[in-house]
Amino acid sequence: MTDTGAMQRRLGLGDAVAIGLGSMIGAGVFAAFAPAAAAAGSGLLIGLAIAAVVAYCNATSSAQLAAQYPTSGGTYVYGREQLGPWSGFMAGWCFVIGKTASCAAMALTFAAYAAPAGWERPVAALAVAALASIHRLRLGPAADIPDRH
């Protein structure tokens, strides 16, 4: 395999669906339903249906933008191309901050189940560091990733 220096697309439809479902459902299944049910009561299913419609709209608009701008950069590129450089910059950073917060929430949810009381935050931080290290060791340089096609 030769390294062209350019990023290559490697995700198919199944990969994208799995990433999307994992991002939306994730640890929320273990942490959010009880407080949501307590707050919404019998309206929980209506709230879930509304959330599903919003998620569908988000997914289809993101897919449309990805088809229109088939380049790496995601949210940054979409914001830049549609609204200008400053909006692209802000959209990119908001995306990174949102994903970072999501990662922290998932790590804390894991630690709430796996760690003894009082140790949740250190265990969550350790879990993030361990997974990041495993990911880095597994992937290595981009040229080492075999082509799936």
Q: Are residues 103 and 144 in the same domain?
A: yes
Q: How confident is the model at residue 141 (pLDDT cuts 50, 70, 90)?
A: low
80 within some domain: no
Averaged over 117-140, what is the pLDDT?
88
Full residue range of the structural domain in which residue 52 is found: 31-68
**pLDDT 10s digits, 86-127:** 999 999 999 999 888 888 888 998 999 999 999 999 999 999
Distance CA 66, CA 40 (A): 35
Answer whether residue 13 is part of any domain. no
Domain identity same for 57 and 109: no
61 close to 78: Cβ distance less than 8 angstroms: no
Q: Radius of gyration (Cα) for the chain, nearest Å?
A: 19
My answer on whether 111 and 144 are in the same domain is yes
**More confident site: 72 or 4:** 72
Residues in Cβ contact with 69 at an 8 Å cutoff, skipping those fewer than 6 apart: 77, 78, 81
For residues 109 and 27, the answer to whether their CB atoms sit within 8 Å is: yes
Higher pLDDT residue, 37 or 21? Answer: 37
Is there a single domain that holds both residue 132 and residue 99?
A: yes
